[in-house]
């Protein structure tokens, strides 16, 4: 019973996915949790509170002024009572109000009064999810440590296909269970690189690549959730800093090297997810190069390999590399594993494929000296959780 003695406050907002939360109540209870339910006015247009009263075995809370439902539990008491709040489904309207700090219904008031973890499972039409306002709300909620679970991609009640479906009850229940598991990286320090580097040609031009930092930032999130103390050395990206870590911003490969090397001997684990430029311009110009009709030649000189340098340290952390390959994935990745003397390498196919650089999804083939595991195509958040799990178990094996 993974959730024995855990108290979960489940918020339900208006949406066709509201019916799925009945199964969620059942799954959470099956794992041993006590569940109490709060419904907004519009959620009640989709499912009767009586359904949730019967399933949870407790009165359903709907109104901030309804002291008669359960006089012992006013809204502050309810927020204090729970170990975790989960809002599923979380509509676009609810997310917008939560972001803005509204408290004009019981559920929003509870969210403001709650000091425990809060998770939301968005569910809405794919166009509403893609809207810049919704994306901004979600990004800002994440930066305030609200856990955003989903949405899934698929067919929607309105007939559209795209991201916006609420995760299945079992997937949400599984994430709740994980939240209460002792962290697999508890007490360990992790140094992580992410994003691209920029190699200056002159003060206004540079050589770089298509890395967005999404994979590395998802790994940082997953490692924090697993209990690690994370330092993220990041090249220039358009992502917000995940909460709860030390962020070191750099531009060039040389700056990344300088940021990583003094920190590496103190780290238990090192993951090199950054797409570091292999070369820099030998002589970057102090002033903007003037246009002319002549061709120009840039001489490129190799950068230091940060991952290989960390792996060669006497007091080295457990080293995980990435391999971005356009061909012969396994042979190239295994060659890097050996050459750089790594503990593990996560290889992704890049180029004209659906994962890899700047995509929201990825798939990985992970190799180590005597084994391998495939992580099939999923969101970078899901892939990161699976990879951190795998790294944690390989790390434990290596140390035992």
Catalytic positions, written as ranges: 158
Q: Which of 52, 94, 129, 357 binds ligand PMT (CB under 6 A)?
A: 357
Which residue's CB is nearer to ligand PMT, number 232 or number 324? 324
Output the smallest distance, CB 157 to ligand PMT, in A.
31
Between 85 and 364, CB nearer to ligand PMT: 364
* Distance (Å, whole) CA 319 – CA 308: 9
User: Would you count residue 324 as binding ligand PMT (CB under 6 A)?
Assistant: yes
Applying CB under 6 A, which of residues 323, 366, 384, 391 lies at the interface with ligand PMT? 323
CB 183 within 8 Å of CB 205: no
Closer by beta carbon to ligand PMT, 1 or else 238: 238
Q: Pick one of 20, 336, 388, 390: the residue that binds ligand PMT (CB under 6 A).
A: 336
Name which of residues 132 to 151 contact ligand PMT (CB under 6 A): none
- Binding to ligand PMT by residue 234, rule CB under 6 A? no
Interface residue with ligand PMT among 275, 344, 375, 392 (CB under 6 A) is 275
Q: Which of residues 92-121 bind ligand PMT (CB under 6 A)?
A: none
The whole-angstrom separation of Cα 7 and Cα 98 is 22
Under rule CB under 6 A, residue 219 binds ligand PMT: no
- Give the binding range for ligand PMT (CB under 6 A) out of 142-150, 275-283, 368-376, 390-398: 275-283
| Residues 6+ positions from 262 with CB-CB distance below 8 Å | none
Q: Which is nearer to ligand PMT, 295 or 299 (by Cβ)? A: 299
Taking the complex as a whole, the smallest distance from the CB of residue 328 to ligand PMT amounts, in Å, to 12
Binding test (CB under 6 A) with ligand PMT, winner from 109, 134, 189, 211: 211
In the complex, least distance from residue 282 CB atom to ligand PMT, rounded to whole angstroms: 16
Q: Are 273 and 322 in contact (CB under 8 A)?
A: yes
232 binds ligand PMT (CB under 6 A): no
Write down the least CB distance from residue 253 to ligand PMT, Å. 5
Count of residues interacting with ligand PMT (CB under 6 A): 28
Whether residue 221 is preceded by a cis peptide bond, meaning omega within 30 degrees of 0, is: no
Is 365 a binding residue for ligand PMT by CB under 6 A? The answer is: no
Stretch that binds ligand PMT, among 66-74, 286-294, 298-306, 371-379 (CB under 6 A): 298-306
CA 244, distance to chain mean position in Å, is 13
Q: Which residue has the tokens 């559920």?
A: 107
- Exposed, middle or buried: residue 5 (CB in 10 Å: 0-12, 13-18, 19+)? exposed
Helix (H, G, I), strand (E, B) or coil at 11: strand
Tell me whether residue 164 or residue 356 sits nearer to ligand PMT (CB atom): 356
**Beta-carbon contacts of residue 323 (< 8 Å; ≥ 6 apart):** 329, 332, 333, 336, 345, 346, 347, 348
Choose which of 5, 331, 358, 396 interacts with ligand PMT (CB under 6 A). Answer: 358
Using CB under 6 A, pick the residue from 356, 366, 375, 392 that binds ligand PMT. Answer: 356
- For the chain, the first-to-last Cα distance in angstroms comes to 28
Beta strands in the chain (DSSP E): 7-12, 34-39, 84-90, 118-122, 147-148, 152-155, 161-165, 189-194, 199-202, 205-207, 229-234, 246-249, 269-272, 279-281, 300-302, 318-325, 344-349, 361-368, 371-379
In angstroms, rounded to a whole number, what is the distance separating the alpha carbons of residues 12 and 61? 10
CB closer to ligand PMT out of 229 and 325 = 325
Q: Which of 99, 109, 137, 212 binds ligand PMT (CB under 6 A)?
A: 212
Among 214, 381, 384, 385, binds ligand PMT (CB under 6 A): 214
CB pairs under 8 A, 24+ apart, for 75-79? 75/106, 75/109, 75/110, 75/113, 76/113, 78/9, 78/36, 78/38, 78/110, 79/9, 79/110, 79/113, 79/114, 79/115, 79/116
Pick 116 or 334: Cβ nearer ligand PMT: 334
CA 214, 216, 221, 222 torsion: positive or negative? positive
Tokens read off for 284: 């970057």
78 belongs to the binding site for ligand PMT (CB under 6 A): no
Tokens describing residue 391:
């790294």
Residue 272 engages ligand PMT in binding (rule: CB under 6 A): yes
CA 268, 350, 271: angle at the middle one, nearest 5?
A: 5
Tell me which residues in 240-259 interact with ligand PMT (CB under 6 A).
253
Residues that bind ligand PMT (CB under 6 A): 193, 211-216, 253, 272-276, 278, 303, 305-307, 321-324, 336, 348, 350, 356-358
């Amino acid at each position: 019973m993974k959730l024995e003695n855990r108290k979960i406050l489940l918020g339900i907002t208006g949406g066709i996915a509201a019916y799925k939360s009945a199964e969620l109540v059942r799954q959470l209870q099956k794992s041993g949790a006590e569940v109490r339910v709060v419904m907004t006015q519009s959620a009640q247009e989709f499912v009767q509170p009586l359904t949730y009263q019967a399933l949870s075995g407790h009165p359903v809370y709907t109104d901030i002024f309804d002291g008669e439902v359960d006089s012992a539990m006013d809204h502050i008491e309810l927020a204090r009572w729970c170990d975790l709040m989960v809002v599923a489904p979380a509509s676009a309207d609810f997310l917008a109000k939560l972001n803005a700090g509204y408290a004009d219904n019981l559920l929003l008031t509870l969210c403001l009064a709650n000091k425990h973890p809060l998770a939301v499972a968005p569910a809405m039409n794919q166009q509403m999810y893609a809207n810049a306002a919704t994306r901004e709300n979600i990004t800002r909620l994440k930066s305030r440590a609200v856990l955003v679970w989903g949405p899934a991609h698929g067919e929607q009640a309105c007939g559209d296909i795209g991201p916006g479906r609420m995760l299945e009850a079992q997937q949400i229940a599984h994430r709740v269970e994980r939240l209460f598991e002792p962290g697999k990286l508890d007490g360990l320090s992790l140094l992580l690189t992410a994003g691209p580097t920029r190699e200056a040609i002159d003060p206004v031009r540079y050589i770089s690549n298509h890395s967005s930092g999404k994979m590395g930032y998802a790994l940082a999130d997953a490692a924090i959730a697993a209990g690690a103390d994370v330092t993220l050395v990041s090249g220039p990206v358009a992502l917000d800093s995940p909460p709860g870590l030390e962020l070191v911003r750099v531009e060039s490969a040389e700056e990344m090297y300088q940021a990583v090397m003094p920190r590496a001997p103190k780290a238990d684990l090192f993951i090199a997810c950054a797409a570091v430029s292999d070369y820099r311009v030998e002589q970057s110009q102090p002033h903007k190069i003037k246009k002319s009709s002549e061709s120009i030649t840039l001489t490129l000189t190799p950068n230091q390999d940060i991952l290989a340098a960390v792996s060669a340290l006497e007091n080295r952390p457990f080293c995980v590399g990435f391999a971005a390959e356009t061909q012969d994935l396994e042979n190239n990745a295994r060659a890097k594993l050996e050459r750089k003397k790594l503990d593990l390498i996560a290889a992704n196919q890049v180029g004209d494929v659906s994962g890899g650089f700047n995509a929201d999804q990825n798939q990985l083939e992970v190799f180590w000296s005597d084994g391998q595991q495939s992580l099939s195509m999923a969101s970078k958040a899901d892939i990161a959780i699976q990879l951190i799990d795998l790294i944690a178990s390989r790390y434990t094996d290596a140390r035992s």
